[in-house]
Amino acid sequence: MKIAVAGATGLVGEMMMRVLEERRFPVTEFIPMASERSVGRSVRFNGKEYAVLTMQQGLERKPDIALFSAGGGPSLEWAPKFAAAGTTVIDNSSAWRMHEGIPLVVPEINGSILTPSDKIIANPNCSTIQMVLALNPLHQRYGIKRIVVSTYQSITGTGRKAVTQLENERQGIEGEMAYPCRIDMNIIPQVDVFMDNGYTKEEMKLVNETRKILHAPGIGITATTVRVPVVGGHSEAINVEFEKTPDLAEVRRLLETTQGIVVMDDVKQLSYPMPLHSHNRDEVFVGRIRKDESNDKAINLWVVADNLRKGAATNAVQIAELITRK
C-alpha cells in the first residue's frame, strides 16, 4: 500500500510517521511530501531515509492514502487533485471540516459513516477530539443540552516555532516569536485569530465541529481557548448540562468502559490527569468528575490528551486503518 504524508517535516507530520511505525501500518511504499522549501531534506521512516518530495511529485506517485498536515491553503489546493487521482486524503487542517458532504471523523464515535466513495476525510481539531471522545457516551445516555469549555493548550499545537520560542525564553535567548508576547511564565487567552463575534477560530471550531460529530446541531456550546507554556498536551475544563439528570456512578462506568478513555479520578490520593500523564500516549484521560452544585443536571470534567497524538496523528492513522479494513 502506498502511503503519503504531506507536511512530513512538521511536528504533526513527524508524529504521523511515528504512529504509522508504532501501529505497524502496512506500508509498501512511503512518500513524504512537504513545501518547496523543504525539498531536498530527508526523513527517516521504518529505518530508511527518504527524500522529501513536492506535492506534485507525490501526486505523480499515486498513493492509496495521503495523510495531510500541511495547512489549510495547501489542503484546499491539493486534496481535490489527489482525490481525483484515486487517493483517499485524510486532512488534518481545518480546510474541509465543515464542508457539506465531507465526513468529520473520530473513529470511536462515527467511523461507521465512512464509505469507499469518501476521498476527502477531515480529521477534527485536536481540542475537539478529546472533548467529544469523553462526552459522546454521556450524550448517548443523557442527551447534552449545553457545554461550557475552557482549554489550556500546549504550545506544540502552534508548531516547532512555538517550541523554539519557549526554549529560547527559558535560556534567555532572543529569537523569532511565534506569539505576539512572551509565553514562558505566562498564559495567552488567544488560540488562533479573532473573528467578528469576539471569539477565536479555535473556539468556534469547538462549537461547530462538536455539533457535526455528535450529529447534534442544537447543543449550546461556548468556549474559551488559552495557550499555556506546556509541551505534553491539551487540558480542558468542561461543564456539561444534560437533558436528563446524570448519575455520577453511572457516568464513571460509562467513561471507564469507553474505548480510548482512561479515568483518573481519586482526589483522596490526589490522582487526576495532567499533561505529564498524556505525553506520548494515545488515550484521553478524564478526572475531577463531580456534580455541578449550581445545577442538578450538570457535571464538571477535566479532560487531558496529547494533542499531537490522539488530537492529530493517531486519530488520522486510525481513520486510515478503518479505511483499509473497509
Q: Which residues form the catalytic set?
A: 126, 234
115: which 3 cell numbers? 464509505
CB atoms within 10 A of CB 100: 4
Question: Alpha-carbon distance 232 to 193, whole Å?
Answer: 23
Rg over alpha carbons for the chain, rounded to the nearest Å, is 20
Residue 307 near residue 280, CB atoms below 8 Å? no
- Enumerate the β-bridge partners of residue 299: 240, 291
Q: What is the 3-state secondary structure of 236-275?
A: EEEEEEECCCCCHHHHHHHHHCCCCEEECCEHHHCECCCH
Q: How far is CA 14 from the centre of its chain?
A: 15
Residue 198 to residues 162, 204, 218, 238, 244, Cα–Cα distance (Å):
24, 10, 21, 21, 32
